[in-house]
Amino acid sequence: MSASDSLDPVAEVEAVHALLATWLGTDAEPEVLERFAATQHDTMSMVTTDGTRMSRSELLSGLRRARNARPGLDIEISEVEVLFAEGNVTVVRFMERHHFDGKHADRWTTAVLTAEGLPPRYSWRVLHETEAPGD
């Protein structure tokens, strides 16, 4: 049995995006961003929908300035698919739908998560977002 066997990647994706939506969509307490930051590994990197590469520190720096930047933002997660799970590594792909100001924007996201610590918890290592066609 591996460390990731006791973890739920769907619940992880939903929980992290709930924190992100709370931070970006409300006048949240700093603790919300701290909880989000704790899920991101020190070496985490991402590629945004416009192709920008970002480190963890760049992501968090931008987020610090973006508290309540999109009042009422809701992030809906669907179509979560585990693409790979072996040892402490899990790769997931999912659809994010960002609801804001009466509109929505969709993106496919692929993430590499590792199970770490005792008790084990997921640590986000890599995130790649691709804009999805609108409906």
Q: What is the CATH T-level fold of the domain 9-131, as seen in this structure?
A: Nuclear Transport Factor 2; Chain: A, (3.10.450)
Q: For the chain, which residues make up each domain, given as ranges?
A: 9-131
> What pLDDT digit, counting tens, does each position of 119-134 carry?
899 999 999 999 998 7
User: What average pLDDT does the segment 109-115 reach?
Assistant: 98
Predicted local confidence at residue 2, as pLDDT: 60
Q: Looking up tokens 């693409």, which residue turns up?
A: 83
Predicted local confidence at residue 1, as pLDDT: 47
Phi/psi of residue 68, each to 5°?
Answer: 60, 30
User: What average pLDDT does the segment 48-57 reach?
Assistant: 97
How far, in Å, CA of 123 to CA of 23, rounded? 19
Alpha helical stretches, state H, the chain: 9-25, 30-38, 56-64
